[in-house]
Structure 1
Amino acid sequence: MHTTGRFNYFPYLLLVPALVITIVIVAWPLVETFRLSFTDAALKPDENFVGFENYEKIFSGRFPEVIGRTFVWMFWSVGLKMIVGTLGAVLLNAAVPGRGLFRVLVMPPWVVPIAIGVFIWGWMYNGQWGMISGVAQIIGLVDGPFEFLAYRDTAFIATIVTDVWIGTPLVTIYLLAAMQSIPNDLHEAAWVDGASRAYRFRRITLPLILPAVATMSLLSSIWTFNSFDIIWILTEGGPRGGTTTMIIDTYKTAISRFRYGEGAARAVLIVLFLSAFAGFYFYLISRFARGGADNDQ
Structure 2
Amino acid sequence: MADTSQAATQTFEARQGRTLPESVFAWMLIGPAMLFIAVIVAWPLAETVRLSFMEADLGGEQYVGFANYADLMDSRKFHQTIVRTFYWMFLSVGLKLILGLIGATLLNAAVPGRGLFRVLVMPPWVIPIAIGCIGWLWLYNGYFGVLSGTMMQLGITDGPFEFLAHKQSAFYSAVVTDVWVGTPMVTLFFLAAMQGVPRDLYEAAYVDGASRWYRFRRITIPQIMPVIVSMSLLSAIFTFNSFEIIWILTEGGPRSATTTLIVDTYKTAISNFKFGEGSARAVVIVILLGTFSLIYLFFLNKVNKYYGSGKK
**211, 220, 225: which is aligned to 1:196?**
211
* Closer/same/farther in 2, CA of residues 293 and 158 from structure 1, 3 Å limit: closer
* Closer/same/farther in 2, CA of residues 14 and 204 from structure 1, 3 Å limit: closer
Find the residue that maps to 2:224 and give its secondary structure: helix
**15, 40, 46: which is aligned to 2:30?**
15
**133, 144, 147: which is aligned to 1:118?**
133
Q: Is the 8 A contact 1:70 1:246 kept in 2?
A: yes
Partner residue in 2 for 1:241: 256
Deviation at 1:283, TM superposition (A): 3.8
Q: Is the 8 A contact 1:238 1:244 kept in 2?
A: yes
**Counterpart residue type for residue 176 of structure 2:** V
Q: How many residues align?
A: 291
Deviation at 1:89, TM superposition (A): 0.6
**Counterpart residue type for residue 216 of structure 1:** M
Q: Percent identity?
A: 59
Partner residue in 2 for 1:219: 234
Partner residue in 2 for 1:208: 223
Deviation at 1:281, TM superposition (A): 4.8
Deviation at 1:288, TM superposition (A): 5.7
Tell me, yes or no, if structure 1 residue 150 matches structure 2 residue 189: no
After the TM superposition, which segments of 4 or more aligned residues of structure 1 sit over 6 Å from their partners? none
- After TM superposition, the structure 1 stretch with the greater mean CA deviation from structure 2, 187-196 or 62-71, is 187-196
Tell me, yes or no, if structure 1 residue 38 matches structure 2 residue 53: yes
* Cα deviations by residue, 1:126-153 (Å, 9 ceiling, x for unpaired): 0000011111111111111100000000
Partner residue in 2 for 1:178: 193
* Cα deviations by residue, 1:83-128 (Å, 9 ceiling, x for unpaired): 0000001111111111111111011110011110011001100000
* Cα deviations by residue, 1:206-234 (Å, 9 ceiling, x for unpaired): 11111111011111000000110000000
CA distance in 2, matches of 1:173, 1:141: 36
Q: TM-score if structure 1 supplies the norm length? A: 0.93
Partner residue in 1 for 2:68: 54
* Cα deviations by residue, 1:160-209 (Å, 9 ceiling, x for unpaired): 00000000001101001111111111111111211111111111111111
How big is the alpha-carbon RMSD for the aligned residues of Structure 1 and Structure 2? 1.9
Find the residue that maps to 1:9 and give its secondary structure: helix
**Counterpart residue type for residue 68 of structure 2:** N
Deviation at 1:276, TM superposition (A): 2.1
Find the residue that maps to 2:79 and give its secondary structure: helix
1:88-167 equivalences under 5 Å are 88-167=103-182
Q: Is the 8 A contact 2:163 2:170 kept in 1?
A: yes
**283, 290, 298: which is aligned to 1:275?**
290
CA distance in 1, matches of 2:160, 2:190: 39
Contiguous gaps of at least 5 residues in structure 1: none
CA distance in 1, matches of 2:105, 2:245: 28
Find the residue that maps to 1:146 and give its secondary structure: coil
Q: TM-score if structure 2 supplies the norm length? A: 0.89
CA distance in 2, matches of 1:65, 1:293: 40
Find the residue that maps to 2:242 and give its secondary structure: coil
CA distance in 2, matches of 1:59, 1:274: 17
Deviation at 1:11, TM superposition (A): 2.2
**Counterpart residue type for residue 133 of structure 2:** V
- After TM superposition, the structure 1 stretch with the greater mean CA deviation from structure 2, 15-24 or 88-97, is 15-24
Q: Is the 8 A contact 2:124 2:181 kept in 1?
A: yes
Tell me, yes or no, if structure 1 residue 64 matches structure 2 residue 88: no
* Closer/same/farther in 2, CA of residues 83 and 290 from structure 1, 3 Å limit: closer
Q: Is the 8 A contact 2:222 2:307 kept in 1?
A: no
Deviation at 1:277, TM superposition (A): 3.4
1:77-96 equivalences under 5 Å are 77-96=92-111
Deviation at 1:290, TM superposition (A): 5.5
Deviation at 1:16, TM superposition (A): 2.1
Q: Is the 8 A contact 1:222 1:277 kept in 2?
A: no
CA distance in 2, matches of 1:111, 1:96: 24
